[in-house]
Structures are given as C-alpha cells and as structure tokens.
Structure 1
Amino acid sequence: MATYDLTQRMIPYLDRHLALPLLAHVSELSIFPAKQLQEAQYELARRTNMVDYSVSLFEQLHPSDEVPEEFGSKRSNVETTNERLQKEAQVVLDVIENPEVAQALRQDKMQNLNYLREKHNLTHEEINALYHFGQFQYTYGNYSGAAQFLYHFLVLSTDPELNLSAQWGKLASDILSGDWQTAKDELDRLREAIDNRSTSLVPAASAGVGIDSASSTALAQLQGRTWYLHWSLFVYFNHPEGRHALLEVFLSPAYLNTIQTSCPWILRYLAAAAVISRKTATSGRIRHAVKEVVRVVQMENYQYHDPITDFLKMLFIDFDFEAAQKELGEAEKLIENDFFLQNFKDEFLDNARYFISEAYCRIHRQIDIADLSARLNLSRSEGEKWIVNLIRDTRMGADAKIDLSRNIIVIDKPHAPVYQSVIERTRGLSFRTQALGVAMQRRAMGEAVQRGGGGDRRPRGDRGDRGAADREREQQQEHLVPPAPAAVEVA
C-alpha cells in the first residue's frame, strides 16, 4: 500500500517532532526500505536537541562505527543551555506562582505587565525567558514541561509574533503529550488567530522544511490554514468528539478552499470522517456531511483520489456497486496502514456497508440476501445477521420485510401519486411568479425615479404630491399581490 501512503506529502507541513511518530509508524509496516526510513528518522532527530535518541538512531544505522564526538559536545552544550535558561525562567515563575500575585493578575495583559513591572521589577525580556525556556524544553523532548512554560508565557505576553509561535509550540507539546482536550482547546484558539491575523502564520521553525512565509494577507492565511489542517489531524482522530469537529472546520468555506488549493490529499480524512460519523451525528450538518463531501470528491477527482474517495464516488455518483465493493476492500487495507485512521477500521466498514445497503435498497424492490452480502464483502451467514440488524435498528424496518422462503428482502415503500408530486412542486410557482413581477416593477419604478431626479426640479409641493401618488399606487399593488420575499427583491 505504499502507493497510497501520504507520509511524504504530509511531512513538509509538520514540525520535526510531529513527523517522527509518522516515520516510526511507517517503519512498522515494511512498505519502504528499512534503511531509508532509519536515515530519514536520523536526519530529523539530529537537528533537534534529543541527543540520546539521535545516538541510538546512529547506532542502528552504523552498528560498527563509533559515535561521533559531536554528540558528546552537543550533550554538554544542551545541559549548559538548559541550566542557564531555567535560571532565567525561574525568576519569573517565583513571582507569578506567588498566591498574592496570582490573585492580583487580571484579564488585561497590559495591566498585568504594569503591575509586575512596578511591584516586582519584571521586564518584557524576563517574561520572554519563559518562551525561550519552553521552546528549549520542546527541542529535547520534554513536551509536558514545554507546554507548562509556554502556557505561562501566553498568559503574560503581548508580543503578537512570539504569541503566535508559542501557540504553535504549545499545540505541538499538547499533541505529543497526549493531552487531547487541552490540545483541542489550543487548536480552537490557534484557528481564531489564523483567521484574524494578516502576518506570517506558520511556525518560525518551518523555514527550512515547509513553505516560505508570505507578505500577502491571503497567502499568509493560506499557509497558516494548510499547516493547521495537517496538525489538527492528530487531535481530531484522537479526541472523542474530534470527527464531528473535523467536519465542522474542514467543510467551512475557508478551509475547504485551502484543501482544494494546497492539500487535496486531506480529502481522505474528510471523507473518512464523514463516513465514520454517520451513527454519532449530533446535528443536521454532520448527518448530511457525506453529500457535501461527495460533491467535493467529484470536483477534485482529477488531482487526488484513493480507495476511500473512490468508494464514495462509485457509490453515490456512478452507482456502480461492483466497483464500490472493490474500492471498499482496498479502503480496508488502506485504513489498516494509515497512521490516523488505523483505529477506526471497524466503524468505517460498518457505516460504509450501511451506505451500500441504503443505496442498493433505494433502487431495488426485491434483493437477494446472498447477493447483497457479497456486495458488502461479508459471508452469507455474516451478511444475514448484518442485514437483520440493519432492518431492525434503522428506518428501513418500516418498509423492508425478509422473505425467508425465497431468501430475499422485499422493499414495499409506497410511492406518492403523480398528481400529488406535481402539486407539491408547483405549489409555490404562482406566488413566486407574482413576487418576481412585483420586484421587477419596483426596480423599473426606481430606475425611472433616478432618471427623473437629474432633470427639471419641481416645486416641493409637486414632489410631495408625486411621492404621495407613488406611495398610493404601491399600496394598491401590495393589496393585490403579496410583497416579494427579500431574497427575490435583492436578486
């Protein structure tokens, strides 16, 4: 399944520390040469301050070689720098952890800074020490410590650039610490910052790995949202309500446009979340997310597709059940190997089979159970149990009956009479026609008034009489025809 692996596409949009778990996962699948993966892991790790981890990767790559001396000097430098930064940060911590100071702090950051400067002689540079120490903690793998110091920094700092960088760093720290609720809260705050800011929105550490920062507001937001989409996958596929939040965010116009423009491969996770969320949907938007996703999949099929997106396309656009069955089998293998989706295989397959059954029953009145079981990639006995549970637990039970003598399902759904359908479709036609006529007449009258306004100027009394006559004529028309809806009038 190396063909559908997205690791190489996603790593340029991830921090080094976030990329390491993806490489570790891929190395367990044996879909790429082991030595190449070890070299990639080593190249990522050696540029961090995780000296011991880098040494272990070097020894795996070169078991017969001695460890370079540079690691020893780097270790001593890391220890020295850590002690220095810790002392600088401890000065601020000793102040803000004082109960009296904590009670005196307010929501207004400027007021807090003035208070700390006047009462405790804390300067901006000393407060920035929290940021530098948190960042250093992150570089050598102490993610929980990094999250703590960056949190204190964000509470006090008013520097917009450092605050944005600290938000990215705290999000990464929460992700790598496995604190998913805190990570989701931080993700929401970061999204607000991206949508409301016009400066460079990607992490400062990304300059050598990802896309360059841009001066244009639109391009800067596009970059920030692209990074956001990739980082958010860690949260959305680990938080209990993450799939619903993913659909809400990814289907919003700004982020959907980002997916279509910068990273169409994210459609895999959007499509998977739409399928997985069928049973647990809490809003109409989530319940009907599959329809929106199918529309996007159809538009973007020319630049990205995989078995998951092809499954939706074959089922809901082409109505090719044999092809959908084949793609579902391929999607099962893909999900087993995907870093983010591997824990959702059973949920995906169960909901995908429901969609197949629903679509198949919608266009057939008699269905052979054995044939439907084969289309669901189930054995005959498993298919019978699954179909019985489906009919019992869903709204199909009112229309579907099982004929055990012929081993078929009979769909007896009453169809509305043709004349009733015609009445329903044409019920509002007369009203809409009248409303459109009134709107056109009002627009014509408005244009006539505008043309007349630039000509001869009539006396005030004449203008008043003319306005009264116009109002009287409009009132008579409103008595005859209902007023047009606002949407029609604007159009």
Structure 2
Amino acid sequence: MAEYDLSKTLIPYLDRHLSFPLLAHLVETGVFPADEVQVAQYELAKGTNMFDYAVSLFQQIYPNQEVPKEFEEKRVNAVSTHERLEHEAQAVLDVITIPDVAQALRQDKNQNLQYLKDNFNLTLEQITALYNFGKFQYSYGNYSGAADYLYHFRVLSTDPDLTISAHWGKLASDILTGKWEVALEELNSLREAIDSRTPAPFASVSSSANNNTPAVDPALSQLHSRTWLVHWSLFVYFNHDQGRALLLETFLSPAYLNTIQTSCPWILRYVAAAAIITSPTPTSKSSSVPQSSRVKNAVREVVKVIQMENYQYEDPVTAFLMQLHVEFDFESAQKELQKAEKVVLDDFFLGQFHDEFLESARCLVSEAYCRIHQRIDIGDLSDRLNLPRAEGEKWIVNLIRETRMGQDAKIDLEKNLIQISRPPQPVYQSVIEKTRGLAIRTQALGAAIARSGAAAAQANVSTSVQVQSVEPVAAVV
C-alpha cells in the first residue's frame, strides 16, 4: 500500500521532531524498506542536537565506517551553549517566579515589561533568553522543559513574531509529550492568533515597497500558516477523546475548508475518515458532548467536497464515499472499502481507529442499501459488507434491531430476507429542506460579498490618501 502512504506528503509541513514518529511508524508497518527509512531518520536527526540518536543511526546504516568527528565537535559546542543559555534564562526565571512578582503581573504585557524594568532591570532582550533556551532544549529533545520556558516567554514577550514562534514550539512540545488536553488548548490559542492576523493596511505595504524590501502578502502568509496548522493539528485531533468531532468542526469551517482545497487536498482523507468514524453505530458509545449540526451532517458535507476535489485527489477512503453516496455503485464501494481498510490500518493517524472505521463504514453501506431497495437478501448484503455469511447475518440483524431502521424493516429469517416498508417522504418536505439549504448558502454568500466590499472600500480610501499625499510633491517637481 505504499502508493497510498501520505508520509512523504505530510512531512514537508511538519517540524523535523514531529516527523520522527511518522518514520518510526513506517519501520513498524514495513510499507517501505527499513534501510531507506533509517536513512531518512538519520538525515532528520543530523539537523538537531540529538547527537547520540544521530550517531546510533549512523552506526546502523554504515556499520563499517567511522563516526564523523563533526558530531563530537557539535556536542562540545552544544554543552557550552547550553550552559550559557541556561544561565541567561535562569536570571529571568528567578525574578518572575517570586510570589510577589507573579501576583503583580497583569494582562497588559507592556505594563508587565515596564514593571520588570523599573523594579528588576529586566529588558525585553533579557526576557528573550527564555525563548532561546526553550528553543535549544527543544532541539535536543527535552520537550517538557522547552514547553515551560516557551510558555513563560510567551506570557511576557511583546514581540509578535517571536510570540507566534513560541506558540508553535509550545504546541510541538505538548504533542511530543502526549499532553493532549494542553495541546488542544494550545492549538485553539494558536488558531485564534493566526485567524486574527488581518491583512496589513495599504500604507504599510507601500512603505515597505518604498524601502526596497519585499512586501509579504498577508493573505498568502495566513494561508501558509493555516496549512501548517492543519497538518500539526492531526496529532491532536486523532489522540484527543473528542478530537474527531473537533476536526470536523474546524476543517469544515469555510476558512479551513478553503485552505484544504487550495493547499493540501490530501487532508480530505482524514476529514472523510473522521466523518465516517463519528457517524453513529449500534456499538458506538453515546457521547456526553452534544454534536453540532455540522458534525451530524458531516458525511453529506464531506461527500460534496470530495466530489468537487476528485480531480486533484483521490484515495480508497474518499473513493468509498464517492461510490457509495454519489455513484450508488455498491460493488465498487465494496472494493474500495477493502482497500480503505488496509489504508486506514497502515496510516499513522488512523491505524488506532481501524475497527471503528470499519464498523461505521458498514453501517453507511447498510443504510444506503436499505434506502434504495425494498427486498434485501441478507446473504447478498453480507457480501457487500465484506463479511462471512454467518457473521454478516448476525451483524445485520443487530444493526436493524438497535437502530432506527428497525421501525421500517422486518426480518424474515426463513427466507433470509429483509422487507423494507418505508412511507414515501412528502414532496413539500423535500422542497422545504432544499429551500432551507439554499437560504443558508445565500445568507453566507451575502455576508462574504459584504466583507469583500468593505475591504475594497478601505483599500480605495487608503489609495486615495496615498495619492493626495504624493500630489503636492509632484506639483513642486
């Protein structure tokens, strides 16, 4: 199943430390030759301060060669750097951990900085030592220590760029230490920070152009940040208890759905898998957290997106939903489900949900099959579900008895048939549902047009200001 493995596609959007678990998983699954994966691990480790790990990988790959001397030189430099950064950071940490100082700090970072400067002669440059030491600890694998220092820096720093960088480092550290509740809070905080970074006004863009410095498109920068956040968030959403529902809430929102469609359509595998996993089954446990309409109707929404993006991405997971809900080809859906089962089992993020995925997928097939047919041979439906006849009969009978299908279906065990007697849906009800959907989409489109109109008007005003300020100069010339 190497052709469906996404590791090579995902790793360019991950920090090198986050890539190590994916490569370790490839060694376990055997999707790629182990020696090739070890070479990739070594190339990643060389760029970190985890010298012992890099040396062990080098010895495994090249058993007859001498370890390069550069590793020992880097180790000596790293020890001296560690001592220096620790001394600088500890001077700041000793001040901010004083109980009276901790109580005196407020929400206003500028006020806190002025307080520390007046009372303890701490400057912004000294506070940056927390960031430098946290980043260095992260580089040699002390993720819990890195998280602590980056958190303290982020609370005090007024530098927006370094604060965002500390956000990313803190999120990666929480992921690598397996603190999923804390990681989810950090993920939400980082997403709010990225979403709130509105495009810069026209004046700032023109001023950077006048200074002969390349102007960065704010919208493009925000798109890149969201693309990276989508990939990093997979670690959190597929390990947190409520992660699959939260993934659907985030990824199906307009901003992030547009990001996926524009920059990373392969993420549709995980959106589709999450939609299938969260769909109700007879064996699923009732969640104490109420689901939103977006999560409840996730399969329907995901199918629409998959249908639109089918030209640029397709795999057995997305193809299964396409064949089932668009083509209504149950034979093809059966074949795609067989391949999707293997894809999910080998996938780093989806492997632990293999059984849930398969159970939910079979429920979707059964519901769609029973919606179309009135008389169903239980043995034939068992084949559609990739189940042995005896096991399939038990599974189907249990499904009908424990779901809403039991209201419309009757089981004839003598003839091994299911009789569906579903009353036809009134025409006016169908019209009401379609009209409601059109009304919601029209409202969303109107709001988007209003926002774009307001942005264009602001741009025109800024342009006119620039022109008026230039005209007197031109007249003098």
Separation in 2 of the partners of 1:296 and 1:21?
30
Counterpart of 1:367 in 2: which secondary structure? strand
Which residue is 1:256 aligned to?
Answer: 257
Cα distance between partner residues in 1 of 2:50 and 2:396 = 53
**8 Å contact kept, 1:198–1:220:** no
For the residue of structure 2 that corresponds to 1:410, the secondary structure is strand
Query: Pairwise mapping of residues 107-118 of structure 1 onto structure 2 (< 5 A)?
Result: 107-118=107-118
Cα pair distance change 1:214/1:292, threshold 3 Å = farther
Q: Which one of 346, 365, 370 corresponds to residue 374 of structure 2?
A: 365
Q: 2 CA distance for matches of 1:318 and 1:138? A: 49
Find the aligned partners of 1:303 and 1:415 in 2 and give their Cα distance. 38
SS at match of 1:409: strand
Shift of 1:422: 5.9
Residues 364-411 of structure 1, C-alpha deviations (whole Å, 9 max, x = no match): 111111111111111112112211221121111111111011011111
For residues 335 and 290 of structure 1, what CA distance do their matches in structure 2 show?
A: 17
State how far apart, in whole Å, the 1-side matches of 2:428 and 2:268 are.
39
* Structure-to-structure mapping, 1:306-345, within 5 angstroms: 306-345=315-354
CA distance in structure 1 between the aligned counterparts of 2:169 and 2:215, rounded to whole angstroms: 20
Distance 1:10 1:159, change over 3 A: same
Alignment of 1:197-216 (within 5 A): 197=197, 215-216=216-217
Structure 2 Cα separation of the partners of residues 299 and 423 of structure 1 = 27
Distance 2:391 2:429 in 1: 45
Higher relative contact order (CA 8 A, sep 6+): 2
Match runs of 1:179-258 below 5 Å: 179-197=179-197, 215-258=216-259
Question: Is the CA contact (8 Å cut-off) linking 2:147 and 2:174 kept in structure 1?
Answer: yes
Over the matched positions of the two proteins, sequence identity in percent amounts to 64
Say whether the 8 Å CA contact 1:175–1:234 is kept in structure 2: yes
Quote the offset at 1:258 in angstroms.
1.0
Matches within 5 A, 1:28-67: 28-67=28-67
Distance 1:20 1:69, change over 3 A: same
Q: Given that residues 199 and 220 in structure 1 are in contact (C-alpha distance below 8 angstroms), is that contact kept between their aligned partners in structure 2?
A: no
Unaligned runs of 5+ in 1: 201-212, 430-491
Tell me by how many angstroms 1:108 deviates: 1.3
Mapped pair 1:380 → 2:389: yes
Give the Å deviation of 1:414: 2.2
The amino acid that maps onto 2:10 is: M
Q: Distance in 2 between the 1:365 and 1:97 partners?
A: 71
Q: Is the 8 A contact 1:214 1:220 kept in 2?
A: no
Does 113-122 or 139-148 show the bigger shift? 113-122
Paired residues for 1:473-484 under 5 Å = none
Counterpart code for 2:22: L
Quote how far apart the aligned CAs of 1:34 are: 2.2
In 2, distance between residues paired with 1:5 and 1:24? 14
Deviation at 1:198, TM superposition (A): 5.1
Aligned equivalents of 1:214, 1:33: Cα separation in 2: 44
Which residues of 2 match residues 78-477 of structure 1 at below 5 A? Answer: 78-197=78-197, 215-279=216-280, 282-415=291-424, 421=427, 425=431
Q: Deviations over 1:148-177 (max 9, x none)?
A: 000000111110010011101111111111
Letter in 1 for 2:172: A
Counterpart CA distance in 1 for 2:193 and 2:272 is 27
Task: Please give the secondary structure, in 2, of the residue aligned with 1:261.
Answer: helix
What is the alpha-carbon distance in structure 2 between the residues aligned to residue 147 and residue 424 of structure 1?
A: 53
Report what 1:482 is aligned to.
none
Task: Tell whether the 8 Å contact from 2:277 to 2:357 is kept in structure 1 after alignment.
Answer: yes
Report deviation, 1:328: 0.5
Quote the residue 1:210 is aligned against. Answer: none
Mapped contact 2:199–2:219 kept (Cα < 8 A): no
Counterpart-to-counterpart distance in 2, 1:20 and 1:265:
20
Letter of the structure 2 residue corresponding to residue 350 of structure 1 = E
One-letter identity of the residue aligned with 1:47: G
Structure 2 distance, partners of 1:138, 1:353, is 44
How far apart are the structure 2 equivalents of 1:71 and 1:423? 72
Counterpart-to-counterpart distance in 2, 1:20 and 1:422: 56
State the distance in 2 between where 1:75 and 1:214 align. Answer: 39
1:239 aligns to what SS in structure 2? coil
Partner in structure 2 of residue 470 of structure 1: none
User: What whole-Å deviation, never above 9, does each CA across 1:329-374 have from its counterpart, x for those lacking one?
Assistant: 1000001110000000011111111110000000111111111111
Q: Distance in 1 between matches of 2:427 and 2:163?
A: 59
Distance 1:298 1:30 in 2: 32
Q: Which structure has the larger Rg over C-alpha atoms?
A: 1
TM-score (normalizing by structure 1): 0.82
- CA positional deviation for 1:415: 2.6
In the TM superposition, what is the alpha-carbon distance from 1:10 to its structure 2 partner?
1.0
- Which one-letter code corresponds to 2:130 in the other structure? L
**What is the distance in 2 between the residues matched to 1:223 and 1:421?**
46
The amino acid that maps onto 1:42 is: Y
Distance of 1:161 and 1:188 partners within structure 2: 18
Q: Which 5+ residue runs of structure 2 have no aligned equivalent?
A: 201-213, 281-286, 436-477
**CA deviation map 1:443-489 (0-9, x unaligned):** xxxxxxxxxxxxxxxxxxxxxxxxxxxxxxxxxxxxxxxxxxxxxxx
| Whole-angstrom distance in 1 between the partners of 2:383 and 2:11 | 39
| Structure 2 CA distance for aligned equivalents of residues 304 and 33 of structure 1 | 26
Supply the AA of the counterpart residue of 1:231: W
| Distance of 1:18 and 1:55 partners within structure 2 | 20
